[in-house]
Structure 1
Amino acid sequence: MKKRVVAVMMAAVTAAGLLAGCGGGQGTDSGSGDAQSTEEGKVINIYSWNDEFRTRLEAVYPEVESTSDDGTVTTLKDGTEIHWVINPNQDGVYQQKLDEALMNQADAAADDKIDIFLSETDYVYKYTDADADVAMPLTDLGIDLDTDLADQYDFTKTTASDQDGVQRGSTWQCCPGVLVYRRDIAKDVFGTDDPTAVGEKVKDWDTLKATAEELKSKGYYTFSSYADTFRVYGNNISEPWVTTGETTVKVDQKIMDWIESSKEWLDAGYLDKTVKGQFNDDWNKAMGSSSKVFAFLLPPWGIDFTLSPNWDGDTGAWAVTNPPQEYNWGGSYIHAATGTDNPEHVKDIILAMTAEKDTLLKISQDYLDFTNTVSGMEEAAADDAYASDFLGGQNAYEYYAPVAENIQIAPLSSYDQGCVELIQNAFSDYFQGNVDFDKAKSNFETAIKERYPDITEVQWPE
């Protein structure tokens, strides 16, 4: 592993105060992961940060025999055991544990080797990096990209590819973002909660700004927080935060546009000043029935995992419509770990869970995921069987599908998670009036260099 790749991969470890020694890297030798290996191991180790993938695999993978009561071991029909190694995403714990295991992969005993690991879009590029070589090219497993994965959305294949265009992961889900709004507030302000009519009120940023003034006049906030709009801007940047081989963070103009609009909207009263960021108590409460927040910008998982659990009112109070701009937020990618002693099992799991339309449609029906076959999602969008009780019987796939078809995934880098987190943290203080604009910029520069010691410079657009 090259020195810079090690530095990026171990950033979570150093941030946690641990030693960042290499401990035996894998180099570029992927021979032990050759799909032609004659004997498969008896244990498949899968690393993830929650049970999302496990629950879906148990529900639809035909080779599952049983799962232990504590959910840590799934036994397949051939007697092979899947051992689930789960560590939380919070504070970089998952990546820290995964990085340590990957760096010891070459010397690990067969039953201790990582076979599959998952990554999120915010840091997928760190693990698909060709120099790191910790995720196998799918073709090395014997997967034919032109036939086996022909029906996947192109942007998901791009996201899971390295800097040379070699695909090193696959996903069962897409995460097209939509605008999710309160029906009662729409009726009060616009006289209708019809998704088409509301969609016209939010169809682009200029129109949405005028609508925000309408909402304000009736005592409502358009969104809860400046963080709610970040993913729309951040998913549409034109160049990566850090270009491969360089040590300079380049802040895209789209990020500056987000900063400018966030400050303007907060000062105008279109956002709730008491809600600072996301995934905190104030943000959760903004999704409750006593809130004055009209809408959230969320992908399918956001509705299922955050909005629905936080809503304490009647079912059917929310609906979805088009966002002001197409964007993608999130996505869990499945990787075959270089050095796996179970290449045939890994191949079968990846194909079963990310390439078979009927299986993915079952996941969509059971878990409301927008899954990764174009033809399947076109079918779902036209089928009332995919309507959501939470959304008052609305079929959200009618709105997910057009967004997914138009997503142009932002150029990725190995530094995305840190840049995304730290730019928001630094400018949150600016939005709240705690620091001035130049101090927020300086704070970001300091924070990003502390997170990634190999970063030497931050460039801001003119």
Structure 2
Amino acid sequence: MKGRNRSWLATAVSLALVLVMALTGCSGTNNSGSEGGKTTNSGEGTTTNTDGAPVTELEGTIKVWDWDEAFLTKMVPEFNKLYPKIKVEYTVVNNADYMQKLQSGIASGSDVPDVILGEMNYRGQLFDLDVLDNLEADPYNFSRDQLLDYLPSILSNSKGELVGVDQSITPAGLAYRRDLAKQYLGADDPEAVEAMLANWDAFIEKGKEVQEASGGEVTMFASFDDAYRVLREQNSKPYVDGTTVNLTDRLQKPLETVFKMRDAAILGKYEAYTPGWNASFAKGDNIFYPMAPWSAKWNIAANDKDGIGRWGLIPAPEGSYTYGGTSVGVYKGSKNKEAAWAYIQFAYMSDEGMTISYKEFGNMAGTKEFFEKHKDWIEAGTDYDKYFAGQNLNKTFIEEIVPTVKADPQTKYNAMVQTAYSSLYPLWMKDTSITVDAALEKLKSEVKNLAPEATIH
């Protein structure tokens, strides 16, 4: 694989100097959250200053809403070992319900968490509510320079304020079924598979060969949406300026490529994150899937329980991208901002918290320091590597995928574009008489209906 012998030091330097990246805990439409509103109280800390040194005892009660109950039940007791006087009241909220519940709480003024998560699909909408504190101001005094270079753009609001840190970086490539790659592409080694897919034209041509050899039973991607996610994000660039949304400039090229894939019959008929799509990982009728670090747990292991040794990971043709991701910020109206920040620092950036978060959940912090200090963790691999025939997934992400990651700044209009697209793409996938130009014009119309005040190009 390209860059396989690149030294860690060189990679660390590239992390600091070049476009680098963003895991997750959640996907673009991750359905991994627990249901309902289960609330748990834990503990009753010493505070730390911005470099982690203890300065004084800290007391208070904070509310945390999160969809990963396993993370909460493990992390909160560990947090309370260092901060015994901070009481954490956490509520498990399905990520699909999170934004609505949050807006209801803000409107009523009665139930808003101190620690607020922003999943990528609605992150811009959250940021534009202007309810998150600037983390570079008092009492936090956190510097964006501590983050990987590509992250501030997707953790800042429209005023340029840094309003979140990353739950886990989400640089993404392509997971693939080794058995299908061997059968239809003639190779299953990541380096060989990557070499034969130098660009999307080559990908499409290989897809045609697979379609013919399998009698139409095996496709390259499981869904139109899978292909779109990859192509949209690797073509990342700002396209919202105030109330002007330039969809033609932003989406014409990725849509043209996805429609070529559709017309070549190399895309499966599943809709992303449906039961059929989930089952397809084990079924074996599609070769490639978008994959971020969180995908090994939530997509591969969860959906292909017998898939040990069955998978591989490569960078996507023509560049890397972000896939999902979650910001973590502090509510402006919080009465316990320092306690909320202590929780965020511990869970997502401290050595103690990241020991748990990385080793048990596979999360990688979005700070440069994490990669400078924990090279040994990356070298050691994780338990999910077994699904990938021992391929060191996180080393592949860091060395092969991170250097070309791009990410769009997020506003409410980005969220509206995604909402409009999600309502339209199933028809684009099924009705091959719909052209790229017609699809783009329909998308513009739907976005205009959601945002009548905006100028849509």
- Using structure 2 for the length normalisation, give the TM-score: 0.77
The answer to whether structure 1 residue 417 and structure 2 residue 424 are counterparts is no
User: Which letter does structure 1 place at the counterpart of 2:259?
Assistant: K
Aligned-partner SS, 2:420 = helix
* Residue in structure 1 matched with residue 288 of structure 2 by the alignment: 295
Moved more, 303-312 or 249-258: 249-258
- Deviation for aligned residue 1:456: 4.4
Cα distance in 1, alignment partners of residues 213 and 432 from structure 2: 29
- Deviation for aligned residue 1:137: 0.8
In the alignment, is the contact (CA less than 8 A) between 1:173 and 1:332 conserved in 2? yes
Change (3 A) 1:89 1:351: closer
Aligned-partner SS, 1:346 = helix
Deviations 1:93-128 (A, max 9, x none): 3212201222444xx5xxx55311110123323333
* Residue in structure 1 matched with residue 424 of structure 2 by the alignment: 426
* Residue in structure 1 matched with residue 7 of structure 2 by the alignment: none
Change (3 A) 1:178 1:442: closer
Deviations 1:258-302 (A, max 9, x none): 322222212212112x32x200122112211x3221111121222
Cα distance in 2, alignment partners of residues 305 and 205 from structure 1: 27
Cα distance in 2, alignment partners of residues 134 and 39 from structure 1: 27
Cα distance in 2, alignment partners of residues 39 and 370 from structure 1: 29
Aligned-partner SS, 2:114 = strand
Change (3 A) 1:416 1:51: farther
- Deviation for aligned residue 1:304: 1.3
Deviations 1:15-55 (A, max 9, x none): xxxxxxxxxxxxxxxxxxxx9xx997743112334436525
Identity %: 20
The answer to whether structure 1 residue 306 and structure 2 residue 323 are counterparts is no
- Deviation for aligned residue 1:326: 0.8
More contact order relative to length (CA 8 Å, sep ≥ 6):
2
In the alignment, is the contact (CA less than 8 A) between 1:177 and 1:298 conserved in 2? yes
Change (3 A) 1:39 1:141: farther
Aligned-partner SS, 1:143 = coil
* Residue in structure 1 matched with residue 72 of structure 2 by the alignment: 54
Cα distance in 2, alignment partners of residues 269 and 380 from structure 1: 44
User: Which letter does structure 2 place at the counterpart of 1:399?
Assistant: T
Q: Count residues in correspondence.
A: 394
Cα distance in 2, alignment partners of residues 145 and 40 from structure 1: 19
Cα distance in 1, alignment partners of residues 361 and 146 from structure 2: 21
* Residue in structure 1 matched with residue 33 of structure 2 by the alignment: none
Change (3 A) 1:192 1:443: closer
1:447-462 → structure 2 map (5 Å cutoff): 447-452=446-451, 454-459=452-457
- Using structure 1 for the length normalisation, give the TM-score: 0.76
- Deviation for aligned residue 1:150: 4.7
Change (3 A) 1:360 1:287: same
In the alignment, is the contact (CA less than 8 A) between 1:202 and 1:322 conserved in 2? no
* Residue in structure 2 matched with residue 137 of structure 1 by the alignment: 134
In the alignment, is the contact (CA less than 8 A) between 2:196 and 2:202 conserved in 1? yes
Cα distance in 2, alignment partners of residues 375 and 54 from structure 1: 24
Cα distance in 1, alignment partners of residues 206 and 258 from structure 2: 16
In the alignment, is the contact (CA less than 8 A) between 2:239 and 2:249 conserved in 1? no
Change (3 A) 1:196 1:401: same
User: Which letter does structure 1 place at the counterpart of 2:98?
Assistant: Y
Change (3 A) 1:393 1:88: same
Cα distance in 2, alignment partners of residues 441 and 407 from structure 1: 25
Cα distance in 2, alignment partners of residues 50 and 385 from structure 1: 22
The answer to whether structure 1 residue 360 and structure 2 residue 360 are counterparts is no
1:96-135 → structure 2 map (5 Å cutoff): 96-105=100-109, 108=110, 114-129=113-128, 132-135=129-132
Cα distance in 2, alignment partners of residues 52 and 445 from structure 1: 40
- Deviation for aligned residue 1:363: 1.8
User: Which letter does structure 1 place at the counterpart of 2:398?
Assistant: A
- Deviation for aligned residue 1:380: 5.4
Residue of structure 1 aligned with 2:241, choices 223, 228, 243? 243
Aligned-partner SS, 1:429 = helix
1:40-439 → structure 2 map (5 Å cutoff): 42-51=60-69, 54-55=72-73, 57-58=75-76, 61-63=78-80, 77-78=84-85, 80-90=86-96, 93-105=97-109, 108=110, 114-129=113-128, 132-146=129-143, 150-219=145-214, 220-237=218-235, 239-244=237-242, 246=243, 248-272=244-268, 274-275=269-270, 277-288=271-282, 290-324=283-317, 325-357=319-351, 359-374=353-368, 376-377=370-371, 379=375, 383-386=379-382, 388-402=385-399, 403-433=401-431, 436-437=434-435
Aligned-partner SS, 1:333 = strand
Deviations 1:380-421 (A, max 9, x none): 585134361222222111221132233221232222222123
Q: Structure 2 stretches of 5 or more lacking a match?
A: 1-49, 51-55
